Amino acid sequence: MTSIRTTLMVRLLAALSLLLALVFVALYFSVRQQLFASFDQSLLAKAEAIGGMAHQEPDGRINLEIASDTFLDFSRKERPEYFELRRADGAIIERSRSLIGTGLPTLNRRPTVDEFYQITLPDGRTGRAVLSPTTAEQETRAVEEVGQRPAVPIVVAVATDIQEITVHLRRLLTALVVCTIALVVGGAVLVTTIVRRGMKPLDQIASHAAALEPHRLTEPYPTTNLPRELMPIAAGFNGLMQRVAAVLERESRFTAHAAHELRTPLASVRANCEVALRWPEPADSQQTLSSILNTTVHMQSLASKLLQMAHARAGQVRAEPEPADISRLVKSTCEALEASSRSRSIKIDFDTPAPTVAWVDPTLAMAVIENLVSNAIAHAPAGSTVKLHCATEGIHVIFRCDNEAPALSQEDLEKVTEPFWTKSSSRSHGHRGLGMAIASEYCDLLGAGLSLKLPSPGNFRAQVNFPTQPDAIDLNLA
């Protein structure tokens, strides 16, 4: 599992190390270049000094007049320096005492400009040399005697070891390495501290979430001193906890209502069984069994609806859409509920229109229609009319179910789809407020919009917008 804290620290340390390495490499080579530039200037100055001491005799010979105390570095025994004075053709004119019995390796050509290069000195040391082209000055006496002659081109080569530069560069490199290690270690401590403090708000959110109890889900995480970047996370977390708390509260109410609804018929069954066992009169057994059967049928119906609701909420009900005629489904529902409507003297008014084909799961759509119509029959005043309407409008098939509901108010509409919600004055025996809740859940699965309203005082309307094609948008028409 990837850790944000570890990733940040590793990347920041890698970036810091790379930056330090680039800075120190640039610093090292810059100092190195400056040292060699200064060193080369010193070599060139010595070469120019030697070239300035070369004089051309009347006969064309080149003499080098060197003061004994001027070039002591070329005659010392330890770490001597070297020089050679050559003609353009390579002939040796003069060389330092440190080169007696040997020679100075130079370039096999006459340079036109000053050239610097690395060499191995005669004693094996690593050195640096310069080749400086120049001309010998003519003696005044020679000019007076024979006149001005063409200047003789000569080449001065001067070489010395680079031990001092090497020592300085080695010390510099050591210092840079030590500084790099120290800065990386210090940076690691600093980065770790900064990242830990920066991640502290996230740790606090995690601790708050871990400490939440079911009864404290609605306690929001404080966002007073929270960083701006974490505000959306905290807001989303608080919103999620509010929704979770609402779901848990709804499920708790659902469980409590389910237990309450099952308790009454179970008590009735138990009471009938106890009476039958205590007074086993043959004449009463038929009535007792009939009562138990009716209660059991009611419990079975209730259990079936509870199971439908639980499956829908758990996502275990899958819609398999296909073209289906909604008008035909409505007609079948009216036929199935004819006995129920007749028992309450409810008239169902449905004019069978032309086929209205929607893209739905027929089974779920049938369940929606049946629950809405059954709800209307159960809650409308006896002797009233339930009006059904079905028509294609745009990209939806509109199904409307209208019934009289004198007791319903505008505030009640928000509660109608809640499981087990009842308005005692308008609910008849055997109907416990599950039909509308199941219809709402199934509409969500079908992608159909369910809208509830009171078009006029005392009249209730449930409308479903079934899509006519797979990509139809739920307009949720009112």
Write down the pLDDT at residue 424. Answer: 54
The HSE-up count of residue 389 (CA atoms within 13 Å, CB side) is: 13
Span 290-295, mean pLDDT? 74
Whether residue 398 contacts residue 477, with contact meaning beta carbons closer than 8 Å, is answered with: yes
| Spatial separation of the C-alpha atoms in residues 474 and 478, rounded to whole Å | 12
- Segments of the chain assigned to CATH 3.30.450: 4-169
pTM over 0.75: no
Higher-confidence residue: 59 or 357? Answer: 357
Lowest mean pLDDT among 119-133, 134-148, 377-391, 412-426: 134-148
According to CATH, what is the number of the domain 228-313?
1.10.287.130
Confidence of residue 336 (pLDDT cuts 50, 70, 90): confident
Give the 3-state secondary structure of residue 223. Answer: coil
Span 170-176, mean pLDDT? 93
**Six token digits for residue 234:** 């905290």
Element (H, E) at 193: helix 163-198
Confidence of residue 6 (pLDDT cuts 50, 70, 90): confident
Look up the CATH architecture of domain 322-467: 2-Layer Sandwich (3.30)
Beta bridge partners of 358: 324
Higher-confidence residue: 401 or 202? Answer: 401
| Spatial separation of the C-alpha atoms in residues 176 and 197, rounded to whole Å | 31
pLDDT value at 196 more than 90: no
Span 95-110, mean pLDDT? 75
Whether residue 435 contacts residue 371, with contact meaning beta carbons closer than 8 Å, is answered with: yes
Higher-confidence residue: 273 or 352? Answer: 273
Span 160-166, mean pLDDT? 91
Confidence of residue 3 (pLDDT cuts 50, 70, 90): confident
Write down the pLDDT at residue 312. Answer: 64
For 47, 64, 75, the CA distances from 155, given in Å and listed in that order, are 9, 13, 21
Beta-carbon contacts of residue 217 (< 8 Å; ≥ 6 apart): 241, 242, 244, 245, 248
- Percentage of the chain surpassing pLDDT 90? 24
Higher-confidence residue: 138 or 199? Answer: 199
pLDDT value at 434 more than 90: no
pLDDT value at 385 more than 60: yes
Write down the pLDDT at residue 294. Answer: 72
Lowest mean pLDDT among 29-33, 221-225, 233-237, 435-439: 221-225
Give the 3-state secondary structure of residue 46. Answer: helix
Write down the pLDDT at residue 476. Answer: 42
Lowest mean pLDDT among 176-190, 367-381, 425-439: 425-439
- The domain 4-169 is placed in CATH, from the list 3.30.450, 3.40.50, 1.20.950, 2.60.34, at 3.30.450
Query: For the chain, what's the residue count?
Result: 478
Write down the pLDDT at residue 478. Answer: 35
pLDDT value at 141 more than 60: no
Write down the pLDDT at residue 367. Answer: 86
- CB-count burial class (<10 Å; 0-12, 13-18, 19+) for 192: middle
The HSE-up count of residue 218 (CA atoms within 13 Å, CB side) is: 6
Lowest mean pLDDT among 195-204, 260-269, 419-428, 442-451: 419-428
Give the 3-state secondary structure of residue 321. Answer: coil
Confidence of residue 425 (pLDDT cuts 50, 70, 90): very low
Span 331-343, mean pLDDT? 88
Give the sign of the dihedral formed by CA 42, CA 45, CA 51, CA 52: negative
Lowest mean pLDDT among 91-95, 290-294, 359-363: 290-294
| Spatial separation of the C-alpha atoms in residues 48 and 137, rounded to whole Å | 13
Write down the pLDDT at residue 401. Answer: 94
Lowest mean pLDDT among 57-61, 209-213, 371-375, 388-392: 57-61
- Segments of the chain assigned to CATH 3.30.565.10: 322-467
Lowest mean pLDDT among 5-9, 305-309, 400-404: 305-309
pLDDT value at 194 more than 90: no
Whether residue 261 contacts residue 432, with contact meaning beta carbons closer than 8 Å, is answered with: yes
The angle formed by the CA atoms of residues 103, 109 and 110, to the nearest 5 degrees, is: 100
pLDDT value at 460 more than 90: yes
Write down the pLDDT at residue 174. Answer: 93
Task: Compute CA 19 distance to the chain's CA centroid, rounded to the nearest angstrom.
Answer: 26
